Amino acid sequence: MISEIAAWLFALFVVDPLHAEISERINSANLPIETIQQSQQCIATHAPRLLERAEAEPYWAIVTAVGIASGWTSSAELFDVNDPRCSALTEIFGAARGDDGEA
């Protein structure tokens, strides 16, 4: 039961706002259609994995949600940097933080 609550809170405070932020940044970046499609594929692949992990590891879910909500953790850290479909998202979120890693 705790794991289900952690997954729900993770979805509410991380996945849903992350999806909205991604849409906003993609729209403002005027990216090519191919890059947008790759980013959507990245989200479609990784969002269910993140929710599964949040349910399996409630402590990770809570720490990650607090870290992202407070700005201590970058949203880009949730994406697999080895997945080429996620490269545009990691670049967009990395650029938003700046070169020194500060938001």
Give every CB contact of residue 73 below 8 A, 6+ residues apart in sequence.
64, 67
Measured distance CA(76)–CA(5) in Å, rounded: 24
pLDDT exceeds 70 at position 9? yes
Q: pLDDT digits over 28-55, tens only? A: 777 788 888 888 888 888 888 888 998 8
Whether 50 and 11 have beta carbons less than 8 Å apart is answered as no
pTM for the structure as a whole: 0.71
Mean pLDDT, rounded, for 71-98 = 76
Per-domain residue ranges of the chain: 2-97
Do the beta carbons of residue 10 and residue 51 sit within 8 Å? yes
**96 band by pLDDT with thresholds 50, 70 and 90:** low
